[in-house]
Amino acid sequence: MKNQIQIILKDHIKDVQGDKIQKVAQSFLNINTGKVKTGKIFNVMYDLNEDQVSRFANLGLKDEIIHDVYINSLYQDPFYKSFVLVAKLPGVTDDEGISAQKTLMDILVLNLDTNTQHIYTEDIYLFESELEAGALKKLAEELLGNKLIHHFEYGKFTGKVEYVPEVQIVSDDKQQTIDLDVDDDALQNISKDMLLSLNMEEMLTIQAHFADEKVIKYRNDKGLSVEPTDCEMEILAQTWSEHCKHKEFAASINYKNLDTDEEETIDSLFKTYIRQSTEIIRERLKKAGNNWLLKIFTDNAGVVKIDDESVFVWKVETHNSPSAIDPYGGAITGILGNNRDPLGTGIGGGKLLFNTNVLCFGTPNYDKELLPGQLHPRRIMEGVRHGIEDGGNKSGIPTVNGSIIFDDRYSGKPLVYCGTGGVMPYQFAGVNSWLKPIDDGDLIIMAGGRVGKDGIHGATFSSAEIDEHSPQSAVQIGSPITQKLLGDFLQEAALRGLIKCSTDNGAGGLSSSVGELAEIIGGAVVNLEKVPLKYANLKPWEIYVSESQERMTLVVEEHNKEALFELAEEREVEISEIGKFTSTGFIDVRHDKRKVAYLDMKFLHEGVPKKYLEAEWKKPELSEPVIPSNLDYNEILIKLMKSDNICSREDVIRQYDHEVKGKTIIKPLMGEGGKIPQDAAVMRIDFNSFEGIAISNGICPKFGDLDAYEMSAGAFDEAIRQIISVGGKLPDINDDTNRFWTVNDNFCVPDSAFDPVTNPDGKLKLAKLVQMNKALFDMSTFYNIPMTSGKDSMKNDFKSGDIKISVPPTILYSIVAKIDDVRRTVTSNFKVEGDLIYILGETYNELGASEFYKLFGELGKNVPKVRIENADRLYKKIMKANELALIASCHDLSDGGLATAITECTFTDNSGADIELGALSGIGVNVALFSESHSRFIVSVNLDNKKKFEEILTKDAFYLGKVTSDNKLLINSNGEKLIDTSTNDLQSAWGKGLA
Amino acid sequence: MKKVKALVISGYGINCEEELAAAYKLAGAESRIVHLNDIFLEKEYIHEYDILNFPGGFSFGDDLGSGKVLANKMKYKKMGSGKTLLEEIKVFLSQGKFILGICNGFQFLVKMGLLPNTKSNFDQEVTLTRNNSAKYEDRWVYLKKNPKCTTPFLTDIDIMPCPVRHGEGKLIIKDELINAEILKQNLSAFSYCDADGNITSEYPINPNGADLDCAALTNSTGQVLGMMPHPEAFLSLYNHPNWGQMKRQNPNINEDGDGLKIFRNIVNHLRDSHS
């Protein structure tokens, strides 16, 4: 029988959460809730007696200082006239319920099943105001929960809540076979009806495979149907998905430049540009005998060498579509999923060192009517932020830097880039840690969370199929605590040499993880009945492709099995032996005695037909605008400082733990009072040395409206210059100290496959993608900065009826570079009154797509260009100046140009700057102040170091003025006053931007 | 001379164990990270150590309130010996040994009744709950030591900068009587203050709205210290958000972080009392 326990704050205790809800309801939804009281309900389904329930409630759940407890009767007070109940839908992660189960076991000294859900938690909100159903529904769906994952009840509170989200599935583990001996239309319909996302050519390839006499023969011999099973079709669809096979990056592309009439065929963007650039660099490194590139592209994450003791492993990827429909769940699942990439690289079990996140949203004040299914950008931002907070903080991984970009083209699909770096010892139990050895007969062990219907077919899951007891599968909520226990266990197991190697279970579930590992040795047998389930009655194929989170697949040798199971039990991590690796050349999946799938590995991994795509480039027609003269530059600067893309991110940053582990040396905000934004993050690697890494992100999609090549090159340069800014050193092929640089490239583009009806400008979009790749190749091979991992996300369009909101083609370059001594790094804040201020690097008339033009609603034409030789020369000079510790502060120039960068450097008490642009204004005051030319910095230098500094920098440094202490920013142009304003006012405008 | 031995607890979502273990090593002690379950399984014994440490983190994801599930485990879960770990901890304290809890560790010490323990009966007398800002926040604060507080952890400390990183750090005291006892026995060890040492409840100087602006509590014997801020995240000058300017203004500045003082204090105290 069900027992219901409610925990509610005592009346004299401030209801912090309730107060916040009252405030937000008023400001965002314009609903006056009056006072709000929050409470939590625990529905306990274990069979317990009255005394047990009372002990559990009073000792286990109640905090006696602040809580009242109600058992089988809920709190009621006529003061509160309406209510909303937020319960989870069946199958949605309920961590708090699981934790309650664990504490119940401790308190009652009982041995209970805590792996499946028996305690269901619900949140109840009581409102002073008598609100109508419409307002309560709005509160429920737009503030308190999300209808994709929550069940709501609202109205006048009667004192009863009956709903319990138990999963009940009518028993059906039947297996179907699929008749492919049909005409083309029917074949296409099979793909559509089964949600396989396989195109006609792919379906025909599969049809031909199963009609092949050799295939028919071995299927007969093995006792399988001639027709493929549902599970086999699902495995093929998953393995051949864009997500897993990157078919568009592997496609053959016919690229035409209509401006020059040049035409070329590109055989795979990935091979031609990304892989090739890194191979070239690897060859150069090998030749010089300094190969720190240990693993590229072939595993969950790339690996580089730190020293003879340790290696660095990291991965950045995206989680866009899930974040569009459930921002919190999408982001937290993205972070935790991305954490499992470095965790499951090579042998696995590395220590995760940091997270980094780059986010692209619609503007916070988006005022267009929302389309069905579209969430407001502010809501997406708050949900994603919260997901990153919980994903990082609860895992004990510092979120050390990131970036937020606003553009209404991201209002349909936000971009959520998650990156994670980690360190592995060079060897685990005598084996190089980045290797993935597997032998015939090794055991397949699944570790971590249980399997449910989560994520099957992801977002395409049709809502029509959902009833009140069907498990919610489209959206998943990550469980950081489950993963933390799993990660800690894995580290311990790897150190003890108990696991041979591992990989994560992400997209595609077991089908993907076992499939990829089986490729190494050549086959596997999987027994699905041994996979532990969250609830009964899943179909075999569902078990195999489910994307239930917080799972890893481990490869274990028989003789380590017992010790591994013992450790898992001690660490409260569930692990299960589910099969064996073989060298038969087949993936052999069974459920009890039934054959579920028997697929030829070669066909599975190499059978997918190649795509052919067309790209056509034509320069856009653009012009430079006329900007009014006699501008009030004080006002312009204030406007820029509070603009969406420049204003302070402090409120967001402070809600991320950026210093757990005690190794963060340059945090996102530094200086007295912690206000000043920094360029790259810097971390030390260990407590016994000052060796470290710098972490940066380069992204500037706005320039893509002018020139996709320069946008991509500019983003690459931005990531490099941020590392130079904090004191990093460019790679040197001949350097033998493992001074590694490693890039994750992440492309997020709109649908770029031409279709005359649905995507008429597809060829141009693809041409932009080609150009972005060409820039990647040029930048990478010039600097010897290799890609070690990355990802592409190809369909970032939000469709509703005839309306399509497509993201601008976006590339993020995330870079990590080794730092010799973190104590010698440089922060961006001005340090001491009287220090000399210089701008480094040439400023050009490049106001195209600038934040300055945006104030006037203009795009312009002149795109900032990367002048690679000049940049290289400057960066090397800065390196030299830093070797002599001549630079007191350094800040790179980006959005808003010189004026905003100088302003940011002054954001402490008693700081300011007195600037004379002098000759710099020869190119025009607007250009001097606001151009966003690349490869530039604002530095301050101690007067004592002036001579040495100028000798090194020569004409690349242009003297501007001095650091002052009067909280004033003065900028003159040849004696004429342009800006004379208080830095406090600038800081306050900047600080309020996102509020 | 015998080395001071520090035990640092890990597992169940605790996540600051490595920097805490590093703190003791830098302070000259031996430190060892042990999974809490190994103690429950009696593979490891707390009595082999001089100081028991509960690091920060999110044990059980802060479900049911921060530190609550872990406190329940300590109070109610029976070990093979039939005893609870709380009973072992009482023995540990009776031998004059020390306990430190930071952030999640502090939350769990108060919910277990170890702090402030004004009546020495291990009843829960205070709690740590949601910040008034309704936010988790990572920010640096200043701490003013209560000059009348004699715990050896805080010898010779006056004002100390330190990061806080929590969403549930607001101290709520059960009633006036307990409040009076805390004041009388000088158990509020650190208060949030401005850069000049003026104690205030003004946000964000006091980041969470704690009663008494209290950031740390000790017990009457000074053996147990719990604090919301993270001294183990300030072992090096280079953890400070303004290290660049501090170093420029004082090129000979000590490269140790102020947080290290707390660990040196207790290690030195234990070493002196050993000898």
3-state secondary structure B195-221: CCCCECCCCCCCCCCCHHHEEEEECCC
Each residue's pLDDT tens digit, B79-92? 999 999 999 999 99
Q: Is A27 on the interface with B (CB under 8 A)?
A: no
Could B64 and A393 be called an inter-chain contact, meaning their C-beta atoms sit closer than 8 Å?
Answer: no
Could B249 and A16 be called an inter-chain contact, meaning their C-beta atoms sit closer than 8 Å?
Answer: no
How far is A491 from chain B, CA to nearest CA, in Å?
A: 12
Largest Cα separation within chain A, whole Å, is 92
CA separation (Å) from A150 to A43, A474, B218? 16, 12, 43
Nearest to A570 among B37, B126, B138 (CB): B37
Per-residue pLDDT, averaged over B216-235, amounts to 98
Domain-embedded: residue A300: no
The residue behind tokens 């009140």 is A468
pLDDT at A464 over 50: no
Instruction: Tell me the residues of chain A between 864 and 923 that have a Cβ less than 8 Å away from chain B.
Output: 888-889, 908
Chain center to CA of A482: 19
Q: Report the alpha-carbon distance of residue A354 to residue B221 in Å, rounded.
A: 39
Q: Is B103 a residue of the active site?
A: yes
Tell me which chain B residue has its CA closest to the CA of residue A658. Answer: B138
Per-residue pLDDT, averaged over B122-143, amounts to 97
Kindly indicate the confidence band of residue A994, based on its pLDDT and cuts at 50, 70 and 90.
confident
Domain layout of chain B by residue ranges: 5-131+169-186+220-274
> Considering B17, B19, B103, B168, which one is annotated as catalytic?
B103
Q: Mapping DSSP to helix (H, G, I), strand (E, B) and coil, where does residue A615 land?
A: strand
How is residue A23 written in tokens? Answer: 């405030």
Please confirm whether the linkage preceding B116 is cis (ω < 30° from 0). yes
Domain-embedded: residue A169: no
The residue behind tokens 């769940």 is A329
Could B130 and A17 be called an inter-chain contact, meaning their C-beta atoms sit closer than 8 Å?
Answer: yes
**Cβ count near B146 (within 10 Å):** 20
Each residue's pLDDT tens digit, A150-165? 999 999 998 889 999 8
How far is A97 from chain B, CA to nearest CA, in Å?
A: 8
pLDDT at A824: 97
Higher pLDDT, A208 or A298: A208
Whether residue A818 sits in one domain with residue A952: yes
Whether residue A230 sits in one domain with residue A96: no
pLDDT at A418: 95
How far is B48 from chain A, CA to nearest CA, in Å?
A: 21
Q: Which residues of A touch B131 (CB under 8 A)?
A: 16
pLDDT at A26: 96
Continuous H helices in A784-810: none
Core vs surface per residue A305-319: b (16+ CB within 10 A) or e: bbeeebbbbbbbbbb
Indicate the pTM of the whole model.
0.96
Domain extent for A231? 184-245
pLDDT at B54: 98
Per-residue pLDDT, averaged over B36-56, amounts to 97
pLDDT at A463: 35
Domain-embedded: residue A9: yes
Q: Which residues of B touch A19 (CB under 8 A)?
A: 134
pLDDT at A469 over 70: no
pLDDT at A459 over 60: no
Per-residue pLDDT, averaged over A254-267, amounts to 95
∠ CA A631-A632-A634 to the nearest 5 degrees?
140
Could A63 and B232 be called an inter-chain contact, meaning their C-beta atoms sit closer than 8 Å?
Answer: no
Per-residue pLDDT, averaged over B116-129, amounts to 97
The beta strands (E) that lie in A197-324 are given as 252-257, 262-267, 293-295, 302-305, 310-318
Could A481 and B58 be called an inter-chain contact, meaning their C-beta atoms sit closer than 8 Å?
Answer: yes
CA separation (Å) from A382 to A376, A378, A398? 10, 6, 19
Q: What is the dihedral of CA A986, A988, A990, A994, to 10 degrees?
A: -160
Q: Which residues of A touch B232 (CB under 8 A)?
A: 662
Q: Which residues of A touch B175 (CB under 8 A)?
A: none
Could A660 and B15 be called an inter-chain contact, meaning their C-beta atoms sit closer than 8 Å?
Answer: yes
Q: Mutate which of A101, A400, A484 to disrupt the B interface (most B C-beta within 10 Å)?
A: A484
Higher pLDDT, A179 or A800: A179
Q: Report the alpha-carbon distance of residue A89 to residue A950 in Å, rounded.
A: 66
How is residue A933 written in tokens? Answer: 């030319």
Whether residue A240 sits in one domain with residue A113: no
Could A661 and B238 be called an inter-chain contact, meaning their C-beta atoms sit closer than 8 Å?
Answer: no
Core vs surface per residue A46-83: b (16+ CB within 10 A) or e: bebeeebbebbbebbbbbbbbbebbbeebbeeeebebb
Q: Is A763 on the interface with B (CB under 8 A)?
A: no
Q: Mutate which of B24, B166, B238 to disrupt the A interface (most A C-beta within 10 Å)?
A: B238
Q: Are A265 and A255 in contact (CB under 8 A)?
A: yes
Angle of the B85-94 helix axis to the B68-76 helix axis, nearest 10:
80
Per-residue pLDDT, averaged over A296-319, amounts to 94
Q: Which residues pair with A695 in a beta bridge?
A: A681, A816
Residue type, A731: P
Q: Which residues of A touch B118 (CB under 8 A)?
A: none
What does A346-410 look like in DSSP terms, one character per residue? TT--PEEEEEEEEEEE--TT--SPPPTTPPPHHHHHHHHHHHHHHHHHTTT--EEEEEEEE-GGG
Whether residue A215 sits in one domain with residue A94: no
CA separation (Å) from A837 to A68, A484, A923, A935, A956? 61, 47, 20, 17, 13
Q: Report the alpha-carbon distance of residue A437 to residue A23 in Å, rounded.
A: 56
Could B139 and A99 be called an inter-chain contact, meaning their C-beta atoms sit closer than 8 Å?
Answer: no
Q: What secondary structure letter does DSSP report for A759?
A: B
Higher pLDDT, A322 or A145: A145
Q: Which residues of A touch B37 (CB under 8 A)?
A: 570-572
Domain-embedded: residue A511: no
Q: Mapping DSSP to helix (H, G, I), strand (E, B) and coil, where does residue A198 land?
A: coil
Contact residues for A183 (Cβ-Cβ < 8 A; gap 6+): none
How far is B114 from chain A, CA to nearest CA, in Å?
A: 15
Q: Are A666 and A781 in contact (CB under 8 A)?
A: no
How far is B19 from chain A, CA to nearest CA, in Å?
A: 6
Could A396 and B12 be called an inter-chain contact, meaning their C-beta atoms sit closer than 8 Å?
Answer: no
Domain B5-131+169-186+220-274 architecture = 3-Layer(aba) Sandwich (3.40)
**Cβ count near A171 (within 10 Å):** 7
Give the CATH number for residue A848.
Answer: 3.90.650.10
Could A687 and B25 be called an inter-chain contact, meaning their C-beta atoms sit closer than 8 Å?
Answer: yes
Domain-embedded: residue A324: no
Per-residue pLDDT, averaged over A546-554, amounts to 92
**Cβ count near A995 (within 10 Å):** 9
Whether residue A946 sits in one domain with residue A804: yes
**Cβ count near B89 (within 10 Å):** 20
pLDDT at A461: 40
What is the SS3 string spanning A279-300? HHHHHHHHHHCCCCEEECCCCC
What does B27-49 look like in DSSP terms, one character per residue? TT-EEEEEEHHHHHTTSS-GGG-
Q: Report the alpha-carbon distance of residue A873 to residue A888 in Å, rounded.
A: 20
pLDDT above 90 covers a percentage of chain A that reads 86
Kindly indicate the confidence band of residue A214, based on its pLDDT and cuts at 50, 70 and 90.
very high
Kindly indicate the confidence band of residue B47, based on its pLDDT and cuts at 50, 70 and 90.
very high
Kindly indicate the confidence band of residue A166, based on its pLDDT and cuts at 50, 70 and 90.
confident
Whether residue A224 sits in one domain with residue A83: no
Domain-embedded: residue A882: yes
Each residue's pLDDT tens digit, A575-621? 999 999 999 999 999 999 899 999 999 999 999 999 999 999 999 99
Whether residue A934 sits in one domain with residue A804: yes
Q: Is A485 on the interface with B (CB under 8 A)?
A: yes
Nearest to B69 among A102, A393, A654 (CB): A102
Nearest to B233 among A106, A107, A662 (CB): A662
pLDDT at A466: 39
Whether residue A928 sits in one domain with residue A864: yes
pLDDT at A467 over 90: no
Nearest to B19 among A13, A661, A670 (CB): A661
Please give the backbone phi and psi of residue B189, each rounded to the nearest 5 degrees, phi first. Answer: -85, -40
Whether residue A44 sits in one domain with residue A132: yes
Domain-embedded: residue A674: yes
Q: Report the alpha-carbon distance of residue A642 to residue A651 in Å, rounded.
A: 14
Angle of the A480-495 helix axis to the A95-108 helix axis, nearest 10:
70
Domain-embedded: residue A21: yes
Average pLDDT taken over every residue of chain B: 96
Could B78 and A823 be called an inter-chain contact, meaning their C-beta atoms sit closer than 8 Å?
Answer: no
Per-residue pLDDT, averaged over A898-917, amounts to 96
Q: What secondary structure letter does DSSP report for B80?
A: T
Whether residue A211 sits in one domain with residue A81: no
Domain total of chain A: 3
Average pLDDT taken over every residue of chain A: 94
Q: Which residues of A touch B111 (CB under 8 A)?
A: 63
Each residue's pLDDT tens digit, A224-242? 999 999 999 999 998 998 8
Q: Is B232 a residue of the active site?
A: yes
Q: Is B202 a residue of the active site?
A: no
Per-residue pLDDT, averaged over B210-225, amounts to 98
Could B63 and A826 be called an inter-chain contact, meaning their C-beta atoms sit closer than 8 Å?
Answer: no
Whether residue A802 sits in one domain with residue A711: yes
How is residue A329 written in tokens? Answer: 């769940």
pLDDT at B210 over 60: yes
Whether residue A137 sits in one domain with residue A195: no
Please give the backbone phi and psi of residue A164, each rounded to the nearest 5 degrees, phi first. Answer: -135, 125
What does A496-531 look like in DSSP terms, one character per residue? TT--SEEEEE-TTHHHHHHHHHHHHHT-EEEEGGGS
Closest residue by Cα to residue A791 from A164, A208, A313, A318: A318
Instruction: Tell me the residues of chain A between 365 and 404 that have a Cβ less than 8 Å away from chain B.
Output: 389, 393-396
Q: Are A128 and A33 in contact (CB under 8 A)?
A: yes
Contact residues for A501 (Cβ-Cβ < 8 A; gap 6+): A346, A347, A348, A435, A436, A437, A438, A517, A554, A555
Per-residue pLDDT, averaged over A839-845, amounts to 98
Q: How many residue contacts between A and B have a Cβ separation below 8 Å?
A: 194
> Considering B17, B19, B88, B232, which one is annotated as catalytic?
B232
How far is A32 from chain B, CA to nearest CA, in Å?
A: 19
pLDDT at A171: 62
What is the SS3 string spanning A129-165? CCCCHHHHHHHHHHHHCCCCCEEEEEECCCCCCCCCC
Tell me which chain A residue has its CA closest to the CA of residue B178. Answer: A65
How is residue B177 written in tokens? Answer: 């009587």
pLDDT at A458 over 90: no
Closest residue by Cα to residue A647 from A982, A938, A900: A900
pLDDT above 90 covers a percentage of chain B that reads 97
